[in-house]
Every structure is written in C-alpha cells, then in structure tokens.
Structure 1
Amino acid sequence: MKRVLMYTTQVCPYCVMAKRLLGSKGVAIEEVRVDQEPGLREEMMRITQRRTVPQIFIGETHVGGFEDLQALERAGKLDPLLQD
C-alpha cells in the first residue's frame, strides 16, 4: 500500500469523509494539520496551488480534495492507485 499524506483541519467535514473512505480500505493516513501551524498551510498551498482542505497525496500523486478522491473511487481507479 502506498503512503497517503493528507493536509487537514480539525473541523473539516470533507476531511472526515476522506479519512472514512480511505480507512474503509485499510489505509493508514499521515495527517498534516494545517490549522495547528500556519506555515503548514502555506506549504500546502505552495505545493498544491489550492487553499482548501483536504489535499490528498497517494504516493507522489496529488489526488486533490475529497470530491476528487470520491471520483477516483467511483471510476474504479482508487484501489489501483493505492497499490505499490
């Protein structure tokens, strides 16, 4: 299983849904809480060119947010992306 990195905040419902979807697949998530350290949000925005959370990386691939993750799941492309 590839490494999954997710930029999140505590009160983000989309973050919760993304964690739930990935958790249902047995994926361990490395969570970076951008609400706890402003520099981390700036880092996320520099890397992704997006301001919103979650921002999800599977391996080296920037998936995007929850809706992007959900679209991959619906298209049957999430499981293959998660595999090593």
Structure 2
Amino acid sequence: MRIQLVNKFVVLGIPCVVLGQSLGYGVLLYLLSLLERITEEWGLRLRLFALPFLTQDSPIAQVLIYTVPSRRARRPGDLA
C-alpha cells in the first residue's frame, strides 16, 4: 500500500513540476523580450527573444507562446 501511495505522488508530481518549469521559462523569456525592447534590441539591433513571428500584443498570449513549445518538448519519456 505504501508503494502505491508513493507511486501516486510520482505520477501526479512529475507533470506538475514540468508544467511549473515550462511556465517559469515562459515568464522568463517574456521578461527578457521586454528588456530587449526597452534597450532597443541591446543597442545593436540584435533580436534574441522578441522575434517578429513570435511577438503578440497581449502579455498573457506572449507567455503562452513561449510556454507551450517548452511544455510540448517535455514528455514523461524525456525525463529518463
């Protein structure tokens, strides 16, 4: 019974960690894209984070644009 309980925590915990990590990376990339815009593309006209084909008007949509591909890249089989 104890092993089944630990198994449940692992099965439920890994997706939560992956989702949290993906969301964290999405927010970080969004903040870096804001910094890039404020500094006028690092003063060199060099775009690393605010790429034209990824840019959205809504901050929530922008975070999702960065989060979803990161989430899709992390499947349970990728953890091994």
- TM value normalised by structure 1: 0.28
Task: Say which structure is richer in helix.
Answer: 2
Q: TM-score, normalised by structure 2?
A: 0.29
Q: Which has the larger radius of gyration?
A: 2
Of Structure 1 and Structure 2, the greater strand share is in 1
